Structure 1
């Protein structure tokens, strides 16, 4: 049997498994299960998984995407927060992909708390809960440098934000912080009716490639602190927005000038490289003396 003809979970199978486990999808966990095999094949194809690699999946749920990933990859490491779902997934693999059971590792955990994974996964492919999508992606990219590429399905609006470029009105913190790690681009839109339960909004696909070397950059936390400050009040000029971070408006202006950036510019106009330049320039601009020291 070719991989293209291997069975995937449709609406009937998904509902059967959910009924067996006594599960009703919850908004709290952001559970929307994919019930369309063609959508699964489309996602896996867009992820461009290498047959030799280990793929990390977050939130496998009842396993619809897991089976599709397994057909394309050597191994899958699945992180699931819901105990009944995590416990059932190996059995589903045995039923639908007999002989591949040992290629699946299921970890019962909150993805935001995972800092170690077996197998050094090199790709991330996941249908992420809408409410935690950006923090999860940034957390995984921070803690797992072995992840070099991937594709995630998120709320369509979030997909636009993650892949936005400077000057765009939706460009913001997710756009800049994602660019620290590499290149992110919008890879498609997924309709509502391929899920159970059907969400009220479309989903978007975001593909990414870790293609940035930050070994010579300032500390990531310092750069991200600047980004947070710049967008906390995005209508303000950078001089004003960064005054709290810098210690004063005067020092903020000196840092920006040293970085080659107009202090009257706004944060939404800067790319990640310019935020790195600000952090680097700050290292050479001493703090302003306090009133008591003056």
Structure 2
């Protein structure tokens, strides 16, 4: 099925962050990496005109797509190729309750999609609320965001979103995707990232709001030493008792230490 005519006639809606992946070689590589199985429940965020959907749907009994653009939704609804395969949800993906969706589908869901750059971070944080109902995630994201999601301590890319993401998931960058493989062409490169929720949680935090607050506090003052950025929460002795060098800065502490600090607030 050639979708070029639809891309040509479609008025791009910048407020939806629309950049459609149009390169079949890249799409086939993504499908191969996702490796869809017949009985799995795959949910695609922002299917567009179905460039990825048409390949994935060949391997599964049915799949769910979430699309906010009414013009695209109508296209999918009226396309005989997709008619029997797709459960189409018209709406904002960031407002969907994915635990309820998984319960309705009867099993954990696999999430895929080429995510708009303007909602990527907030959408991931939204998904983490329903992480126990998610099997895995494959998303095309802005390259710079992927670098932050997979970053390790002691690097400039390591930050709050690195810690929050890796608390919930193991992360792996898969393939880089050049701007010219999208329509319209974005100003930045993209990457496919694989996120796999932890089966056995390596980091235990009693109150996640503490972890969120501590990482926000330290990384909003990342040039400050820990002894100063956390002075309102802990004294130097408390930090040293945890084996923390108080002269270090936010990017020097690993996730385990951040989790221990979050738990210390609960004592």
Fold equivalence (TM over 0.5):
yes
| Corresponding residue number in structure 2 for 1:289 | none
Contact 1:49 1:123 in 2 (8 A): no
Q: Check if 1:70 corresponds to 2:62.
A: no
What secondary structure is seen at the aligned counterpart in 2 of 1:193?
helix
Partner of 1:235: 223
What are the within-5 Å matches in structure 2 for residues 16-95 of structure 1?
19=9, 23-92=10-79, 94-95=80-81
User: Per-residue displacement from partner, 1:54-112 (whole Å, max 9, x unpaired)?
Assistant: 112111122212222212334322111222222322323x23x5xxx343211122122
2:89 aligned with 1:107? yes
Aligned to 1:165: 152
State the match for 1:4 in structure 2. Answer: none
Q: Structure 1: where are the runs of 5+ without partners?
A: 1-6, 285-294
Alpha-carbon offset, residue 277 of structure 1: 0.8
Q: Which has the higher contact order (CA 8 A, sep 6+)?
A: 2
The question of whether the paired residues in 1 share the 8 Å contact of 2:131 and 2:197 is answered with no
Structure of greater Rg: 1
Contact 1:56–1:121 at 8 Å: present in 2 too?
no
Structure 2 unaligned regions, length at least 5 = none
**Residue deviations 1:193-248 (CA, integer Å, cap 9, x gap):** 2211111221111111112544953122221211111111111112222234x2xx
Q: Give per-residue Cα distances to partners, 1:168-214, cap 9 Å, x unaligned.
A: 11111221111011111111101122211111221111111112544
Corresponding residue SS for 2:133: coil
Q: For the Cα contact (< 8 Å) 2:20–2:184, is it kept in 1?
A: yes
Number of residue pairs matched by the alignment: 261
2:244 maps to 261
1:260–1:75 Cα change, 3 Å: farther
State whether structure 2 residue 261 is matched by structure 1 residue 273.
Answer: no
